[in-house]
Amino acid sequence: MKKAWRAFANFWKGIWEIVKSMGNWRGVLSLLIVWLIISGSGIFVLGFVFNNTLLKGIGIAMYAFWLGPFTPLIPLNIALAMVVQRFVFLDKNVSWKSIKEKFRGAFKEDKEIIKKEEFIKGENDMLILAVETSCDETSVSITRNGKEVLSNIVLSQIKIHQEFGGVVPEVASRNHVLNITRVFDKAIKEANVKIDDIDLVAVTKGPGLIGALLVGINAATAFAFAHDKPLVGVNHLAGHIYAANIENELKFPLIALVVSGGHTSLVYMDDHMSFKTLGETLDDAVGEAYDKVSRMMGEGYPGGPILDKLAKEGKDIYNLPRAYLDKNDYKFSFSGLKSAVNNLIYHSNRKGETINNNDLAASFQEAVIDVLIHKLKTVIEEYPVKQIVIAGGVAANSRLRERVYEEIKDIEIIMPSLKYCTDNAAMIGIAAYYTYKKEGSLENYQLGGYSTLNLDE
């Protein structure tokens, strides 16, 4: 009942906003005249006055066809009302230029509504050009129907940032600028499609490094605007989750564990694009902790694959703490574990003791994975689900993949293949398909970047 009242209130709010936008009484009267004609209401009244059954029938048919009460909300009819306002009521406040712009926008919007309906009904393929520049990968992909990857070009900057021991935001942004256009070209060429074939442009809007995000957003917006394509912004975390949909099928309800360089989150989903964040890190993300610990050990960047490789030759002997926090909630914290590693290295150096980096890597990794698996086991006891999704860059960790399958039974567990775990545009294209089906595209190509952005927003 509340939803019905909310929809009713939103409808009249929309009507009121349109009435205000008409500017004056001439505009309002023009809108009323167009509504009476187009909706069939006026024809029905004439049929009633002259007792003409044919006119009544035509009026009722038009009313039903146009969804009579909603006629004022149809963009084309607002444009027609502006014509009446200008040329019947001689309102000079309405310019010919504004009328043309309204008609152009109306036809474009109506065309997009029709196309969106076709996509939702599965009557048409949707080719999506997606852009990802949230951190240090410049990536463009062409995907089809939220499933098939036709091309996925990823230009990594790892070698550039290795000398700094981590990603330098300004350097990342500048390299995105240098490379973005040729990555666009290569993605389109490899997919063997024409620009006219592309139905939708998608781009990561956040979370991420703001300068890096804006390079991708501006490139995608310019491309969409120049080629008259609708544009959508996609949440980077949603992209990581939907990466698992490329080679598998998401089954709802599900729990997603997103573990990457900037994020550690447990997310409940009961349908496509329906997110409930149950818990996230209070400080360092898992991938961030890997990078910092690797740097403390003098092993370099990126820490994830380096420590994973070292840990295979080591043993968990250093008894590092497990930061469970409250064992019954779903929040994470890895700063204490990072400090414990730092203290161990510091005191060992003071005592002249040698630390075995293989063993330290194994000890650190087991401490991290113990917490992740414990939280997963706890959450599936409270939330009965059909599937667990593990996604993000850290989902590529061989020990995490091994232990999850060993320790969690009776629930299907899916993960993206290694090439889709780290940042890439294909995952953005897959998520964009479902984002567009739920929300449609952006008005006026207005899209900003967000350094922080929750999945629930």
Q: What is the pLDDT of residues 37-77, one digit of tens each?
A: 655 556 666 667 777 777 667 766 655 554 444 444 456 66
Counting every residue written for the chain, the total comes to 457
Portion of the chain with pLDDT greater than 70, in percent: 78
In order of 321, 342, 360, the CA distances from 353 in angstroms are 21, 14, 13
Residues of the chain with CATH 3.30.420.40: 127-242+425-445, 251-415
Query: For residue 347, is pLDDT > 70?
Result: yes
Task: Please check whether the domain covering 127-242+425-445 is classified as CATH 3.40.50.720.
Answer: no
Query: For residue 14, is pLDDT > 70?
Result: no
CA atoms of 200 and 222, how far apart (whole Å): 13
pLDDT of the residue at 386 = 97
The CB-based long-range contact list for 297-304 (8 Å cut-off, 24+ gap) reads 297/341, 297/345, 297/355, 297/357, 297/360, 297/361, 299/357, 299/361, 300/162, 300/165, 301/158, 301/161, 301/162, 301/164, 301/165, 301/166, 302/158, 302/261, 304/261, 304/393, 304/394, 304/396, 304/397
pLDDT of the residue at 303 = 96
Query: For residue 298, is pLDDT > 50?
Result: yes
Lowest mean pLDDT among 58-72, 79-93, 154-168, 430-444: 58-72
pLDDT of the residue at 121 = 46
pLDDT tens digits along 246-268: 999 999 999 999 999 999 999 99
- pLDDT band, very low/low/confident/very high, at 170 (cuts 50, 70, 90): very high
Lowest mean pLDDT among 4-13, 58-67, 83-92: 4-13
| 136 within 8 A of 158, measured Cβ to Cβ | yes
pLDDT of the residue at 63 = 52
In order of 26, 28, 334, 419, the CA distances from 396 in angstroms are 64, 60, 19, 9
pLDDT tens digits along 229-243: 999 999 999 999 999
| 284 within 8 A of 323, measured Cβ to Cβ | no
Phi and psi at residue 390, to the nearest 5°: -115, 125
Q: Considering only CA atoms, which of 146, 250, 133, 155 is closest in space to residue 200? A: 146
CA atoms of 354 and 4, how far apart (whole Å): 70
CA atoms of 377 and 394, how far apart (whole Å): 18
Lowest mean pLDDT among 36-50, 308-322, 330-344, 402-416: 36-50
pLDDT of the residue at 161 = 95
**DSSP β-bridge partners for residue 155:** 138
Portion of the chain with pLDDT greater than 90, in percent: 69
Specify burial of residue 109 (Cβ count, 10 A radius: 0-12, 13-18, 19+): middle
Q: Where are the alpha helices (DSSP H) in 196-317?
A: 210-226, 236-243, 286-296, 303-311
Give, as one character, the DSSP assignment of residue 261. S
Lowest mean pLDDT among 32-41, 186-195, 208-217: 32-41
What is the pLDDT of the chain when averaged over all its residues? 86
Return the HEC string of 382-448. Answer: HCCCCEEEEECHHHHCHHHHHHHHHHCCCCEEECCCHHHHCCCHHHHHHHHHHHHHHHCCCHHHCCC
pLDDT of the residue at 214 = 96
Helical pair 210-226 and 169-191, crossing angle rounded to 10 deg: 30
CATH of segment(s) 251-415: 3.30.420.40
Lowest mean pLDDT among 28-32, 135-139, 184-188: 28-32
- pLDDT band, very low/low/confident/very high, at 90 (cuts 50, 70, 90): confident
Query: For residue 84, is pLDDT > 90?
Result: no
CA atoms of 432 and 187, how far apart (whole Å): 17
Residue with tokens 């490139």, as numbered in its chain = 219
Query: For residue 1, is pLDDT > 80?
Result: no
pLDDT tens digits along 379-428: 999 999 999 999 999 999 999 999 999 999 999 999 999 999 999 999 99
pLDDT tens digits along 433-448: 999 999 999 988 999 9
Query: For residue 211, is pLDDT > 90?
Result: yes
